[in-house]
C-alpha cells in the first residue's frame, strides 16, 4: 500500500518548486493561483528569495504547502491509500486527499502562519531538539520543570523536540544532557510551536477551520494529535484545531500506517527529512520522493 507524506516548516530552500513550475502546466496554475489568493508574488520569493526572505512567517508555511500540494496534484502517479503530514504538512495532506480545497487550504495555512506569529509575539518562547533519550525520560524531565515546557514533536525513536518558554527549554536542555542525551540543542525558531503557549493561535485558527468547508477524503488521513486514521469530517476538523497546542506524534503515525499495511512512503514537497525519519522508525518499508 502507498502512503504519501507531507513535510512541515523548515524544509524550505531557494528555488523550491521551480523545476516543477517549468515542467508542469497544472503545477504552474497552482502557483499562479496562490499569488492571487495571497495578494503577493510568493512564487517569485520561492524561486529567487534568499534564506531570510523564505524564513518570513507569511512566506514559509504557504510556500511549503504550495510546493507540496503541487507535487502531489500534478503527478499522474499520485494514488494514495493513506496520507499524513508533519505539523503544517497535515494541511497539504488534507488538500491532496480531497478533504479540503486548495483555495481554502492555502487561506487556512496563511491564517495559521499569521496567528502563530502573533502568539509568538505575546510571550518569548523557543524549541529544542533532544537526541538519544527515551521519550518517557524526556516527558518526565519536562514535567519536573516549573515552567511551560512540553514534548512537541515525536520525530523518530531517540529524536524528540521540546517546546516552551525560553527559561523552561534552557533548563530542560541542561537536565536532558545530565540524563545522558547525546545532544540537546536550542532550535532557531520564533516560538513554542505545539505547546500550550500557542493557545491564542489555536483559538484564532479554530474559527477559520470551523468556517471552512471540508469533505470526506479519498483515503484515511493519519492526524498528528492522536496518530490515528480519520475520514470523518467532524473528527478531522477537531483534530486539526487541537494540533497547534498538542504534540506531533510522527513516530506513532508512521508506526500505525505500517501496521495498517503501508509498504511504500512517498514524500511530497521540499526536502527529504520525512523519508529519513520513516526509515529510522521502520526499516522494513521503502521511502522516497514523489
Per-residue pLDDT 10s for the chain (290 aa) are: 999 999 998 889 999 999 999 999 999 999 999 999 999 999 999 999 998 899 887 899 999 999 999 999 999 999 999 999 999 999 999 999 999 999 999 999 999 999 999 998 888 899 999 999 999 999 999 999 999 999 999 999 999 999 999 999 999 999 999 999 999 999 988 889 999 999 999 999 999 999 999 999 999 999 999 999 999 999 999 999 999 999 999 999 999 999 999 999 999 999 999 999 999 999 878 888 88
Same domain, 66 and 105: yes
Same domain, 265 and 222: yes
Residue 48 in domain: yes
pLDDT of residue 164: 97
| CB-CB contact of 83 with 222 (8 Å) | yes
Q: How many domains does the chain have?
A: 2
* Other CB atoms within 10 Å distance of the CB of residue 193: 28
Same domain, 42 and 155: no
Strand partners, 266: 4, 288
Same domain, 203 and 263: yes
Same domain, 33 and 93: yes
The catalytic residues are 87, 194
pLDDT of residue 108: 98
| CB-CB contact of 112 with 104 (8 Å) | no
Residue 191 in domain: no
Same domain, 37 and 83: yes
pLDDT of residue 248: 98
Half-sphere exposure of 205 toward its Cβ, with a 13 Å CA cutoff?
32
pTM for the structure as a whole: 0.96
Pairing state of beta strands 264-267 and 2-6?
parallel
pLDDT of residue 290: 85
pLDDT of residue 10: 84
Q: Note down the domain range covering 203.
A: 2-121+196-289
Question: Among residues 240, 238, 212, 209, which one has the least CA distance to residue 224?
Answer: 240
Q: How far is CA 8 from the centre of its chain?
A: 3
Place of cell 488538500: 95
Reported in sequence order, the residue ranges of 221-285 that DSSP labels E, i.e. its strands, are 221-222, 229-230, 264-267
CA distance 169 to 50: 29
Same domain, 76 and 214: yes
pLDDT of residue 285: 86
Same domain, 168 and 270: no
Same domain, 6 and 107: yes
Amino acid at each position: 500500500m502507498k502512503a504519501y507524506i507531507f513535510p512541515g516548516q523548515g524544509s524550505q530552500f531557494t528555488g523550491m518548486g521551480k523545476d516543477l513550475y517549468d515542467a508542469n502546466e497544472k503545477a504552474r496554475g497552482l502557483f499562479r493561483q496562490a499569488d492571487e489568493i495571497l495578494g503577493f508574488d510568493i512564487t517569485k520569493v520561492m524561486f529567487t528569495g534568499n534564506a531570510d526572505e523564505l524564513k518570513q512567517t507569511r512566506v514559509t508555511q504557504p510556500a511549503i504547502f504550495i510546493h507540496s500540494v503541487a507535487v502531489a496534484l500534478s503527478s499522474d502517479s499520485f494514488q494514495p491509500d493513506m496520507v499524513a503530514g508533519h505539523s503544517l504538512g497535515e494541511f497539504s495532506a488534507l488538500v491532496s486527499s480531497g478533504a479540503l480545497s486548495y483555495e481554502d487550504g492555502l487561506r487556512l495555512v496563511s491564517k495559521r502562519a499569521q496567528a502563530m506569529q502573533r502568539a509568538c509575539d505575546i510571550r518569548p518562547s523557543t524549541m529544542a531538539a533532544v537526541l538519544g533519550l527515551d521519550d518517557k525520560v524526556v516527558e518526565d524531565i519536562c514535567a519536573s520543570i516549573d515552567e511551560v515546557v512540553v514534548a512537541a514533536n515525536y520525530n523518530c525513536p531517540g529524536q524528540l523536540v521540546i517546546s516552551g518558554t525560553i527559561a523552561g527549554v534552557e533548563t530542560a536542555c541542561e537536565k536532558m544532557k545530565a540524563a545522558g542525551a547525546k545532544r540537546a540543542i536550542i532550535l532557531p525558531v520564533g516560538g513554542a510551536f505545539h505547546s500550550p503557549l500557542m493557545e491564542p493561535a489555536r483559538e484564532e485558527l479554530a474559527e477559520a477551520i470551523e468556517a471552512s468547508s471540508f469533505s470526506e477524503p479519498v483515503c484515511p488521513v493519519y492526524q498528528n494529535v492522536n496518530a490515528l486514521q480519520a475520514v470523518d469530517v467532524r473528527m478531522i476538523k477537531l483534530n486539526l484545531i487541537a494540533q497547534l497546542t498538542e504534540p506531533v506524534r510522527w513516530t506513532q503515525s508512521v508506526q500505525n500506517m505500517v501496521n495498517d499495511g503501508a509498504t511504500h512512503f512517498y514524500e511530497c514537497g521540499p526536502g527529504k527529512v520525512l523519508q529519513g525519519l520513516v526509515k529510522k522508525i521502520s526499516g522494513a518499508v521503502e521511502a522516497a520522493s514523489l
